[in-house]
Chains A and B, each alone.
Chain A
Amino acid sequence: MTGQAHTGRPSKLLRNLSSKIASIPMMLTAVVIFLGGTIWTVVYSFTNSKLLPRAKFVGFDQYERLWDAPRWIVSIQNLAIYGAFTLVFSLVIGFLLAALMDQKIRFENTFRTIFLYPFALSFIVTGLVWQWILNPEFGVQSVVRSLGWTSFTFDPLYNADIVIYGVLIAGLWQGTGLVMCLLLAGLRGIDEDIWKASRVDGIPMWKTYLFIVIPMMRPVFITTLVIIASGIVKVYDLVVAQTSGGPGIASEVPAKYVYDYMFQAQNLGQGFAASTMMLVTVAIIIVPWAYLEFGGRKRV
């Protein structure tokens, strides 16, 4: 036994040597590009870099300016609203659709295709389509008015108070189909016997879903959550295509602030500070969660 442990040690490092060598490029990419790039960005966010990076440090100046900028505050609020609603609605609607699909309905393939189709469109196309649909002169408002309800008003994209919900509608339309598919796959992974057992025990269907099936689908939900959450943080192209941040600055988002200040305003320092804040926000949410999820117990 001891001899085996003795010889087992070096072999652990050298085991699967070829696959380890093969993964070196990817590891290098991860460390140098992602980690290195992140650190570099954080460091330079403390400088007054304009068009070109300059190592002239100015402390927290960029951050002070950032949190004084009304546009940044609006961006953060919008991201919070968009994020919270996207998370809740795409999970709820996606799960409902998946549960309905799972009732052994006819033409399931057809429905699944229809619901998943929007996901095949890019955010740019989605944004443009919904820009037209929500345009008061051509879209929903004019259709309803032409049916006779002439006082009907529905122009979310031209009303600063609710414009972010107009963006939200488009985002949900595009993304819910994917959530549905992921959750449907999860539902299909649940053993038939569980359903039979719960039926024997006389548990109503909704209770089975809520208390048995959903807890069993935990891994699928986590995957879905990560996909939705990363989509929320990086939302940019949808806003650019649909409203370009307007009216005024009412539908700005952090990612757009970063791009605009780095490239249009030629102020790298400010853009870096904003992107660092985005990273910090994500870290604040992810780290405690990851700690709770993976930290406590070791899993194989």
Chain B
Amino acid sequence: MSVSTVPADTSFQFSQLWRDARYRSYTIQILALVVALSVAMMLVMNAVENLKELGKDFSFSFLFEPAGYDIGQMLVEYSSASAHWKAALVGLLNTLLVAFLACVTATIIGVFVGVLRLSNNWVVSRLMAVYIEGVRNVPLLLQILAWYAVFIHVFPAPKLAVKSPVIEGAVYATNRGFYIPGLTFEGSYQVVVATLIASIIGMVVFRRWAHQRQEATGQILAVGWISLGILVLPTFLVYFASGMPIGLDYPVAGKFNLKGGVKIGTPLVALWFALSIYSAAFVAEIVRAGIMAISKGQTEAAYALGLRPRRTMSLIVLPQSLRIIIPPMISNYLNITKNSSLAIAVGYMDLTGTLGGITLNQTGREMECMLLLMATYLLISLSISAVMNAYNESVKLKGR
């Protein structure tokens, strides 16, 4: 056996930068940083140079110039004389409105479909599978456009508006949209609103107290009925005591158009409809996966303890499956919000339609508009993910 007689060379060699694990990580990181920075530098330099070439500056002062265009659906005061930032705000609120509506309906439909998909009734389960597969495998944009076309072609012009049959004339359906009763506020309506808010807070406090009491003593109150009472009764009493200050403003059929009420434009309805039906299929799959993930032993153990099926569901199965269901559900809500940007295809004026659409085209400030647009969406997404991470942290199984 021969022993190497060459003494180990301990001095630093250049090749150690990528051969030696001690230095290699620094080499790779510095290289990555240099590449990333130089790409970023190049992009910025090019942008600066190209903007100068075109004689454009980089400023957000256009936001305070009058927008000069009208928006069909709005939640805050807006006219074509308002500034561009106001138009963007209307757009943002419209985005949030349709996203909120779609999240609520998609959740309701999706939970139903998901539970029915798991039903041991063969016909129902097959039917739900057909719905889920059919909706998930067709592009959302196509569904939005198709629903929009359906709503436009099925309902008549405002002159021949379809009246709701149940409460005659409370709801009108036309090809421009739906007209529903609006709320009118007069007199001391603030008292009623304040009572409602107070009862909601009261209900939450009561539920928390009832839960703690159950944990401590094992006694269970009729939480559902009592909280319903807390929610409804005081508001009801105050409403009549203060002389019914909140009324309904019914839409009235005019000669060519409808007056009064609240108009929900066809673009909003079509978008809402399509987003709900599309996302409900995803919600259904999430719910199904969540319920299936809870092992049967949990249910059987709960029965062995003498719990009834309803309590087993609410105390044993649901709390565990919610831990699995909620994170993908929240990222699904995030997807709904991002998908609502497809509104531009049916002319619903959301953030993309105002800031990234008409404002961009009118002012020619592509760079500023796109930056603002992306930053806003990014802000919404990051805040939703922050909520999700906080939730995940709070329900994480401890000590696993």
Asked whether A and B interact, the reply is no
Binding site for A on B (CB under 8 A): none
